[in-house]
Structure 1
Amino acid sequence: MDHSNHTPLSAAELTESNLVGAPIYGVDDSKVGSVSHLHDSGSTGKAVVDVGGFLGIGSKPVLVSVGDLHMMRDQNGQVHGMTSWTKDQLKALPEHKD
């Protein structure tokens, strides 16, 4: 996926209404997870990313900084994120419990 035409979200757009459900892609453009919810908004907020599983079943929630997800909007208006982590690295993080 060529992300060069995608528009980074502003800090004001880093809200739960914009990010929940957004897929997160790793460096090789494979989907590594999706955002399930946020703790605070903006670039200093934390996102709970569901990693692994199928259709949300059997996934592991992990907590990461929103600023580390490089959230953007594609030319169709769809929000997604990029991270330098692999799926295995995210799975190795401690499970987040609300």
Structure 2
Amino acid sequence: MDREVLISIINRGRIRFIPVRRCFLCNEYVGYKFVRMCDGSMIPVFSSGCRCCGINNGTLSERTWDEVLDLVKTVQNKPMNERTEEDEFILNSLI
């Protein structure tokens, strides 16, 4: 997968969120979200915390497409026996 394919999948609305880990207090996912800007473009942001329990107040920070692509490639290259629930979620979203 390359950057253009990933952006195309996200722009079509097939992926709205990529989980990275779970909040240690409430067990909700924390990870990448994709925000549509006023000009119609999408940008990746990382949620550094969870909104529901107030940890970091769900702070969002802008990230690069290359960072998101690196995460996806890492998951794709993991052996089956090392994949986590989050990894499977990401892979299933790409199908």
Q: TM-score, length-normalised on structure 1?
A: 0.41
Q: Which structure has the bigger radius of gyration?
A: 2
RCO higher in 1 or 2 (8 Å CA, sep ≥ 6)? 1
Q: TM-score, length-normalised on structure 2?
A: 0.42
Structure richer in helix, relative to its length: 2
Structure richer in strand, relative to its length: 1
